Amino acid sequence: MASSAPAMATTQASNGRQNYTFALTVLTSLFFMWGFITCLNDILIPHLKAVFTLNYTQVMLIQFSFFTAYAIVSLPSGMLVEKIGYKNGIVIGLITAGIGCLLFYPAAGYQSYIMFLFALFILAAGITLLQVAANPYVAILGNPKTAASRLNLTQAFNSFGTTIAPLFGSLLILSIAVKTAEELKAMMPEEVTAYKLAEASAVQVPYLGLAAALFVIAAMFAVIKLPKIEAAEISASGGNGSFDHHHDSAWGYKHLVLGAIGIFVYVGGEVSIGSFLVNYLGQDFIAGLKEADAGRYVSFYWGGAMVGRFAGSVIQRKVSPSKVLAFNAFAAGALVIISMLTTGSVAMWAILAVGLFNSIMFPTIFTLAIDGLGKHTGQASGILCTAIVGGALLPVLQGFFADNIGIHHAFFIPVLCYIYIAYYGLKGYRPAYAK
């Protein structure tokens, strides 16, 4: 299996730490942007569900189209970045994501659900290219012993993007109340035309703005200088690098494979919860909120992740990342169970609080999984980014159960995910080569 991200290693930089600080600063802007764009899906879901009169399974094709890109594009992206370089890979990723945003304009204009799904796939393909390179780059850019802490810090800015996106989306996308077929029949032709234009622009304007921002950032990255990553056989996350690196593939490392499963279920569980929040909070037995109001509450879910990541970047300098991971997984699972067994404000705030404990899971699993892989770290990064496809599959599965047993009890899917993550934090993370 070909290496699927830039070959990882020590960073050779002529002016030392100052270069690292600048590089981490500009990379943080990428984490913010893809967090913002990814979380807008949570606002698109209730909007398109109403516009196209979809059931939960059908509307979860939004997440399926978006996260499937990780499964298809991660490994080719890594090989592309190896050939053209890290910085050029970022520029192409940003431009691709920008083109995806532009495709929302005709999709909304023609009111085509298929076109929306295609636009989401192209957008996600660009973000995938950014992720494959950026996560291991941050993990290795500096002291290996603080890799988990450093990745948590940059991921906190990713969570800042996911926190403000629901507010932004609720204000613009959900501000137009979707009318039923009966209501449209009762309207005058010119009123229907005006309504359709307003409904389309509610999606078109935000994504045109995002396209412009992505193209501007691409232009910035085209002219700045970043430290180059060169191959060297060291641990990427603070391990002792003592493994025999003559093995041909990263797939032989048990803690990496178990970590990839951890990424799969973590992203699947987190996205499943976020995708259903607006509709869940709209249920009469939970909060009975209107879509625009419920959309604003989604910010508490993602805001908790932001707070948790800032806190986690400090805590993990003193407490073992694996122990923090296990504790957070148990806490998140318990909160989902509480929400499933209760109603009203208790159920609402329990599910929103899960975000706080989700916070450190992705960067912590990522850094634990690449520990001690040396020259295989690049390939490992591609494997882990491919596992993000959990965000495509598990929300659709939860949508199926929501249609059949009700939205309230369908949350058992994330509970199973957190049980596995707790296992990984307790035992599965230990570096080992599966001989």
- DSSP code of 255? H
The half-sphere exposure of 399 on its side-chain side, counting CA atoms within 13 A, is 24
The half-sphere exposure of 392 on its side-chain side, counting CA atoms within 13 A, is 18
Neighbours of 175 (CB within 10 A): 13
**Tens digit of pLDDT for each residue in 358-398?**
999 998 999 899 888 877 777 787 889 899 999 999 999 99
Please give the torsion angle defined by the CA atoms of residues 179, 185, 188 and 191, in that order, rounded to the nearest 10 degrees: 20
CATH of 11-428, one of 3.30.70.270, 1.10.1740.10, 3.30.70.100, 1.20.1250.20: 1.20.1250.20
Which uninterrupted H or E stretch holds 399?
A: helix 390-405
pLDDT of residue 241: 44
**Residue 239 contacts residue 372 (beta carbons within 8 Å):** yes
Which uninterrupted H or E stretch holds 11?
A: strand 11-12
Residue in 348, 326, 351, 365 with CA at minimum distance from that of residue 147: 365
pLDDT band with cut points at 50, 70 and 90 for residue 7: very low
pLDDT of residue 250: 82
Strand 228-229 and strand 11-12: the pairing is antiparallel
Q: Is the pLDDT of residue 192 over 50?
A: yes
State phi, psi for 396 to the nearest 5 degrees. -65, -40
pLDDT band with cut points at 50, 70 and 90 for residue 10: very low
Q: Is the pLDDT of residue 17 over 60?
A: no
pLDDT of residue 184: 63
Least confident of 43-57, 280-294, 392-406: 43-57
Q: Is the pLDDT of residue 65 over 50?
A: yes
pLDDT of residue 244: 47
**Tens digit of pLDDT for each residue in 279-290?**
999 999 999 998
**Residue 337 contacts residue 415 (beta carbons within 8 Å):** yes
Give percent above pLDDT 90 in the chain: 43
| Angle at alpha carbon of residue 220, lines to 299 and 122, rounded to 5° | 60
Least confident of 86-100, 238-252, 283-297: 238-252
Burial of 434 (0-12, 13-18, 19+ CB in 10 A): exposed
Burial of 318 (0-12, 13-18, 19+ CB in 10 A): exposed
pLDDT band with cut points at 50, 70 and 90 for residue 157: confident
Domain residue ranges in the chain: 11-428
DSSP 193-234: HHHHHHHHHHHHHHHHHHHHHHHHHHHHHHHS--PEE-----
Which uninterrupted H or E stretch holds 155?
A: helix 147-172
What token pair was written down for 382? 């591609």
Mean pLDDT over 161-183 rounds to: 77
DSSP 49-115: HHHTT--HHHHTHHHHHHHHHHHHHHHHHHHHHHHH-HHHHHHHHHHHHHHHHHTHHHHHHHT-HHH
Q: Is the pLDDT of residue 9 over 60?
A: no
Q: Is the pLDDT of residue 344 over 90?
A: yes
pTM of the model: 0.78
**Residue 99 contacts residue 90 (beta carbons within 8 Å):** no
What token pair was written down for 277? 């929040």
Least confident of 33-37, 238-242, 247-251, 426-430: 238-242
pLDDT of residue 211: 94
The half-sphere exposure of 327 on its side-chain side, counting CA atoms within 13 A, is 13
CA distance 178 to 49: 10
CA distance 112 to 98: 20
pLDDT band with cut points at 50, 70 and 90 for residue 8: very low
Q: Which residue has the higher pLDDT, 152 or 49?
A: 49
Neighbours of 241 (CB within 10 A): 16
Q: Is the pLDDT of residue 16 over 60?
A: no
CA distance 336 to 354: 7
CA distance 26 to 300: 26
pLDDT band with cut points at 50, 70 and 90 for residue 430: confident
